[in-house]
C-alpha cells in the first residue's frame, strides 16, 4: 500500500491524492519514487483512461520539495527518471492527467500542475515558483513549461520575482482551465475526467500524442506530416469504424479501445 499518497479507482478514473498534509503535501525523494510507481502502473493498466492528482486537505496541493528533508544534504535530492512526483519528466506519458489544485501549489507543486494536461483550481489556490528566493531555480520543468504555456511576459513576471499568483489570475494567464469554489473542486475535476473518459480511448491517446509531440516541430506543416504511432493505431482500430457508425445510428458508441 502507498505510504505517502492515497489511490482510488472511480469508474475508469484513477484519483491520486498526495497524503503529507503535515508538511503541506511537500515531497521528499521517497514520496516521489512512490508516486512514480503509481503513475507507471497507471500508464500500463488497461482499466483507467484518465487520472486526477490532488493533495490532502484544503491548505495545499503540494508545497514542492520538502526542504526540511533536503536541508541536511549538500547535493540534489534523488529523483525517479520520471521526475518530481513521477510526473515532471514523464515526457512519454500517453494518458491524460488532471491536476485538481486544492490550495498552495509552490515550486515543485506548481511544476506538477504544469506537467498535467488540465488544471482545475479551487478559488483559494495559489501558484508560484519561488526557487530564486532561496538560491534555487525551477528546473523540474517550471521554467520551460510556464514560458511555453502562457505569454512570455506573464511567465517572466512570475519566474523572476517568485511571486504568488491567484487561481483567478492563473485562469487569465491561461495555465488554469477552470476555477471553482473549494468544496466543488473534486466534482469539477471528476466532471472533466468523465468527459474525457466518454471519448474514444484511442482517439484521446492519439490526440495527446499529436499535441505534445507536434510541438517539437517548427511549423504546423511539419507537425502535420510527422508520424504518430498512436494516430496510426487509432486509424486501424475497431473504434475508428464504431464512432461514425454510432453517430449515423444515433446511439452511444461502444468503445473497445482496439
Residue 74 has pLDDT above 70, yes or no: no
Looking at the structure, tell me whether residues 127 and 241 fall in a common domain. Answer: no
258 in any annotated domain: no
Could you confirm whether 111 is annotated as catalytic? yes
67 in any annotated domain: yes
- State the Cα–Cα distance between residues 151 and 47, nearest whole angstrom: 37
Q: Which is catalytic among the residues 111, 209, 238, 242?
A: 111
Residue 241 has pLDDT above 90, yes or no: yes
Nearest Cα to 84, choosing from 130, 142, 2, 127?
A: 142
CA distances from 251 to 158, 202, 239 (A): 48, 19, 14
Q: What is the CATH number of the domain that holds 62?
A: 3.90.226.10
Residue 79 confidence (pLDDT): 86
Residue 142 CB coordination number (10 Å) = 28
Looking at the structure, tell me whether residues 130 and 211 fall in a common domain. Answer: no
Looking at the structure, tell me whether residues 147 and 171 fall in a common domain. Answer: yes
pLDDT in tens, 97-122: 999 999 999 999 999 999 999 999 99
- Banded pLDDT at 130 (limits 50, 70, 90): very high
- Write out the H or E segment, with its range, that includes residue 220: helix 220-224
Residue 1 confidence (pLDDT): 81
Q: Which is catalytic among the residues 34, 131, 209, 213?
A: 131
Q: Report yes or no: 126 and 79 within 8 Å, Cβ to Cβ.
A: no
Residue 189 has pLDDT above 70, yes or no: yes
- Write out the H or E segment, with its range, that includes residue 98: strand 97-101
pTM: 0.95
Looking at the structure, tell me whether residues 153 and 219 fall in a common domain. Answer: no
Looking at the structure, tell me whether residues 66 and 185 fall in a common domain. Answer: yes
Q: Report yes or no: 243 and 204 within 8 Å, Cβ to Cβ.
A: no
**Set of cell numbers at residue 185:** 473542486
Looking at the structure, tell me whether residues 243 and 141 fall in a common domain. Answer: no
In the chain, the number of structural domains is 2
Helix, strand, or coil (residue 53): strand
Range of the domain at 211: 201-248
Pairing of strands 97-101, 104-106: unpaired
- State the Cα–Cα distance between residues 34 and 37, nearest whole angstrom: 5
Q: What is the separation of C-alpha 73 from the centre of its chain, rounded to a whole number of angstroms?
A: 29
Give backbone dihedrals phi and psi of 178, rounded to 5 degrees, phi first: -155, 145
Looking at the structure, tell me whether residues 175 and 93 fall in a common domain. Answer: yes
Cβ-in-10-Å burial (0-12, 13-18, 19+) of 204 comes to buried
Residue 53 sits at the vertex; the CA angle it makes with 49 and 59, to the nearest 5 degrees, is 160
94 in any annotated domain: yes
The predicted model gives 175-185 an average pLDDT of: 98
Residue 73 confidence (pLDDT): 60
256 in any annotated domain: no
Could you confirm whether 242 is annotated as catalytic? no
- The mean predicted confidence, pLDDT, of the chain is 95
Amino acid at each position: 500500500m502507498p505510504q505517502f499518497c492515497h489511490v482510488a479507482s472511480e469508474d475508469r478514473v484513477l484519483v491520486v491524492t498526495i497524503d503529507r498534509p503535515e508538511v503541506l503535501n511537500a515531497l521528499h525523494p521517497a514520496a516521489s519514487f512512490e508516486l512514480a510507481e503509481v503513475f507507471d502502473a497507471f500508464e500500463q493498466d488497461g482499466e483507467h483512461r484518465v487520472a486526477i492528482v490532488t493533495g490532502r486537505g484544503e491548505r495545499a496541493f503540494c508545497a514542492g520539495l520538502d526542504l526540511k528533508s533536503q536541508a541536511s544534504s549538500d547535493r540534489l535530492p534523488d529523483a525517479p527518471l520520471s521526475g518530481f512526483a513521477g510526473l515532471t519528466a514523464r515526457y512519454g506519458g500517453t494518458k491524460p492527467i488532471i491536476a485538481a489544485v486544492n490550495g498552495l501549489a509552490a515550486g515543485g507543486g506548481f511544476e506538477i500542475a504544469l506537467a498535467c494536461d488540465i488544471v482545475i483550481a479551487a478559488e483559494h489556490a495559489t501558484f508560484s515558483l519561488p526557487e530564486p528566493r532561496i538560491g534555487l531555480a525551477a528546473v523540474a520543468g517550471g521554467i520551460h513549461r510556464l514560458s511555453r504555456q502562457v505569454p512570455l511576459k506573464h511567465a517572466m513576471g512570475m519566474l523572476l520575482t517568485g511571486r504568488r499568483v491567484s487561481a483567478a489570475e492563473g485562469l487569465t494567464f491561461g495555465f488554469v482551465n477552470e476555477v471553482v469554489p473549494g468544496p466543488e473542486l473534486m466534482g469539477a475535476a471528476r466532471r472533466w475526467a468523465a468527459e474525457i473518459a466518454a471519448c474514444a480511448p484511442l482517439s484521446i491517446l492519439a490526440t495527446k500524442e499529436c499535441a505534445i509531440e507536434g510541438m517539437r516541430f517548427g511549423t504546423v506543416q511539419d507537425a502535420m506530416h510527422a508520424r504518430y504511432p498512436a494516430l496510426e493505431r487509432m486509424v486501424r482500430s475497431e473504434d475508428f469504424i464504431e464512432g461514425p457508425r454510432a453517430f449515423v445510428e444515433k446511439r452511444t458508441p461502444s468503445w473497445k479501445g482496439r
